[in-house]
Amino acid sequence: MQPLIEFKNVRKSNDDFELGPINLSFEPGTITALVGKNGAGKSTFFKLLMNLVSPTEGDIFIKGQSILGENEDWKKKISYQPQSLNGVNSFTGKELKKLVSHYYPTWDDDLFTKLVHQFELPLSKAFGKLSQGVQKQLSLALTIPRDTEILLLDEPTAHMDIPTKQILMDCLVDWMDRGDKMILIASHQVEDIRKLADYLVLFQKGKIVGNYVKEELVAQYKRYWLESSLSAQPLPGEIARKGERLIISNHPLETEAHLRKENQRWLDAESLDLEDIISIVLNNERKG
């Protein structure tokens, strides 16, 4: 299957920041979360993909078409919700909808009306006079109904109350059922990632440190409480220990095989929270 998006050896250098090299591709039918600390490069990744900033090296393809060429047809296949909308403060929601819907041949007006109703958006008020959370909701209501094959969401649930978050999650799940679509979502909200994402791309200071299937990543980390004290020697797979009887492993099969061989029993074993796993991977990467 042809990927919807391909990054081929992409690098971007800003004053004191280097992003890349990025070699990634994204298939239809997938939701991928971009995860990393503040300043790790997630928004720059989106800006590169929208050709709002130019790569220093490499190329990006949408359905096989380079976004760097003269032909800009690809823009109608991709919707982007940036962290904040600039230059629109004096426009009302109604005016913004007219502008946006005109550009996208796939615009779904019923979906827009549904989101306006669910988010209770005041369409006659100037964008700049809305609260941050409502601005975000309006921005989403102007983005999702473009109904393109690719949807890019940069921190969609920042400043969002809990019931509205739930509406958005349900909307995105329904939206994926519409066909061969994909979503890239940059988020610091582990709950969003847990609920939505199939894949995780982890960023650390401009480098991609891993591209994981979420379920496989979660299955890879386990915490064990052992019946008796551990020897000082680290166990196979061990990446951390607390006290004398608690260890964390990122190779549970190897760890368990070793414990059985040594007749060391464990009283309990459990998977780690996604939040803990992300912290471990990013902190280990920082140390490395």
Ligand X SMILES: Nc1ncnc2c1ncn2[C@@H]1O[C@H](COP(=O)(O)OP(=O)(O)OP(=O)(O)O)[C@@H](O)[C@H]1O
Q: Which residues bind ligand X (CB under 6 A)?
A: 14-15, 17, 36, 38-44
Supply the minimum distance, in Å, between the C-beta of residue 183 and ligand X.
Answer: 17
Separation of CA 191 from chain center: 12
Amino acid at 100: V
Supply the minimum distance, in Å, between the C-beta of residue 14 and ligand X.
Answer: 4
Can you tell me the distance from the alpha carbon of 170 to that of 181, in angstroms, rounded to the nearest whole number?
A: 16
Give how far Cα 151 sits from Cα of 87, 102, 144, 154, 155, Å.
22, 18, 7, 10, 13
**Which is nearer to ligand X, 81 or 249 (by Cβ)?**
81
**Which is nearer to ligand X, 42 or 222 (by Cβ)?**
42
Supply the minimum distance, in Å, between the C-beta of residue 45 and ligand X.
Answer: 7
Supply the minimum distance, in Å, between the C-beta of residue 42 and ligand X.
Answer: 4
Supply the minimum distance, in Å, between the C-beta of residue 154 and ligand X.
Answer: 7
Locate 220 and state its tokens: 């890879």
**Which is nearer to ligand X, 38 or 124 (by Cβ)?**
38
Can you tell me the distance from the alpha carbon of 271 to that of 284, in angstroms, rounded to the nearest whole number?
A: 18
**Which is nearer to ligand X, 96 or 186 (by Cβ)?**
186
Can you tell me the distance from the alpha carbon of 202 to that of 277, in angstroms, rounded to the nearest whole number?
A: 11
**Which is nearer to ligand X, 6 or 154 (by Cβ)?**
154
The residue behind tokens 């909308």 is 85
**Which is nearer to ligand X, 142 or 186 (by Cβ)?**
186
- 5: which residues sit within 8 A by CB, 6+ positions away? 24, 25, 26, 49, 60, 61, 62, 150, 182, 184
Supply the minimum distance, in Å, between the C-beta of residue 287 and ligand X.
Answer: 20
